[in-house]
A and B are shown apart, each in its own frame.
Chain A
């Protein structure tokens, strides 16, 4: 199975949701993602990029429907050079195994107002 997904997220909306709903960060992001973004001066841009990444991965998998998928099932991690990669957990990890997916490639970009992510499934 191969697939591609893209998403764009408004940075301001992530900032608003974070301030409006105290549970937003912990429901949507893993502790590692929160810690990574918290260290950044423009943390909401990084959080927005990660939100876009989660959406793009689910689009690439074509599984926006399952009631068992949690936001934290898709986690963006960075290697020692800062390049982003994807870790999967929970139901998404099961899907990756079931479909014999070898790798999920991700590319992120952000500016002051918007963040985008593109995900590709490699089988």
Chain B
């Protein structure tokens, strides 16, 4: 499936889950702030993506499906609920679609979902499709 098709399908999934016009679902739109999504909507979107693309996305796998599998220790990423400098750099690398200024010092791990943009889900779908097709994540 080419990137344009993936992008179209992801935008449609998000628009349907949120009950909004697909024209509003532009790649750099922030799910919570710009499109009015809530945490349950993320779950709805994930289920729609899974059905649409025939993939399975674990909870917490939205921002990255590789953090837990590359030998990175959780305590190196987060301390007392706050991202460590290494964790922030890691997150910026894993989510290049997010403006780095939105991940300041003191950023809390539980707020990662507030960073999600439409592009986050496009990247997620691409990553899982690539893994499914054996191209590696």
What is A's interface to B at a CB cutoff of 8 Å? 1, 3, 9-10, 13-14, 17, 20-21, 23-24, 28, 51, 55, 58-59, 61-71
Contact = CB atoms under 8 A, between A and B. Distances in A.
Nearest to B112: A65
Given A3-B81, A69-B59, A69-B60, A64 B113 contact: yes
B47 A21 contact: yes
A13 B58 CA distance: 20
Contacts of A59: 110
B103 interface: no
A1 B80 contact: yes
Task: Tell me what chain B mostly uses at the interface: helix, strand, loop, or mixed.
Answer: helix
B109 A64 contact: yes
A68 B60 contact: yes
A21 B48 CA distance: 8
Interface in B42-72: 43-44, 47, 51, 58-61, 63-65, 67-69
Interface residues of B, number: 29
The 9 A-B pairs of least Cβ separation, nearest first, read: A62-B81, A64-B110, A65-B109, A67-B68, A67-B60, A21-B47, A68-B68, A13-B40, A67-B61
A43 B69 CA distance: 37
A28 B112 CA distance: 20
B59 A71 contact: yes
B80 A66 contact: no
A13 to B, nearest CB: 5
Nearest to B113: A64
Interface string B101-124: 000000011111100000000000
A46 to B, nearest CB: 16
18 contacts: A1-B80, A10-B38, A10-B40, A13-B40, A17-B40, A20-B47, A24-B43, A51-B40, A55-B39, A62-B81, A63-B78, A65-B63, A65-B109, A66-B68, A67-B63, A67-B68, A68-B68, A69-B60
Nearest to A22: B47
Contacts of A24: 43, 47
A21 B57 CA distance: 14
